[in-house]
Amino acid sequence: MSDAPAPLHTFTVDHLRCEVYPTRAAMGVAAGQAVAAAVREVLARQPECRLVLASAPSQDEFLAELGAAPEIDWRRVTVFHLDEYVGLGSTAPQSFGRYLAAHLFERVQPGTVHYWNGLADDPEAECRRYAALLRQAPLDLLCDGIGENGHLAFNDPGTADFADPLPVKVVVLEPASREQQVHDGCFPTLAAVPTHAFTLTIPTVMSARRLFCIVPGPTKTRAVGAVLTEPISPAWPSSILRRHPAAALYGDRAAMALTLESRGLR
């Protein structure tokens, strides 16, 4: 585990604390150590920590640091994941469940991992199953990213609902969300990217007691800038993070470039 890096800048937008790091690697270390500390804090006061994780290359450095963190009793951690493709099995290279297993679970072996079943015969029944698991107790910590179009989990602009009555649902992915998967190198072509996905809805994301948003890279610059400076609205779904009372955004200089410019920072 590395020493904690110092941020270049820290500032708050509404309720959202933002930390900017010089490199993607430093950002990942800082976020990993912050989440590890939060897990330890939860386990110090209660028997179980319920943790939600995102699955994307943007989370690589963060998950590597979290997996190296000492003094976490992972047997007492229950993990959910934010989303999963409909029609993609757990052995597919692009499966989000497989991503999390390879990047974290095989290393730390949490006590319980609740995977989505991407090949469920009845996707709506799968949503009900996952919703029932989520309802068993409050979510303590949730770690997410921001999509290139500002999506939060797979709640895309145009379909995101800040007052969604459902805890989880099946969504049709917007072209921008599918194109991001090609940009990330997860799929060779747009045609290969699934058109539907399971996702936690925005009220479920916002119900977590603490949120950590990890966003590196130049492909996220425009989205991060809009999420932090435009009005809070479903046009930029991740802008809702600014209303959470205990949320933090970790970004590298590239992702935060427009935000820094708007604040006269470098």
Domains along the chain?
Answer: 15-260 (3.40.50.1360)
d(CA 152, CA 160): 8
At residue 90, the pLDDT reads 85
- Give the pair of three-digit tokens for residue 221: 């610059």
At residue 183, the pLDDT reads 87
Burial of 137 (0-12, 13-18, 19+ CB in 10 A): exposed
At residue 260, the pLDDT reads 95
At residue 180, the pLDDT reads 86
At 124 the three-state DSSP class reads helix
* Grouped pLDDT means (10 residues each) for the chain, 266 residues: 85 98 98 98 98 96 98 98 93 92 97 97 98 98 96 94 98 89 88 93 98 97 97 97 98 96 91
At 137 the three-state DSSP class reads coil
Burial of 75 (0-12, 13-18, 19+ CB in 10 A): exposed
At residue 2, the pLDDT reads 60
At residue 1, the pLDDT reads 54
Tell how strand 196-200 and strand 83-85 pair up: antiparallel
158 dihedral zone (left: phi>0; alpha: psi -120 to 50; beta):
left
* Prediction pTM value: 0.95
At 157 the three-state DSSP class reads coil
d(CA 177, CA 150): 9
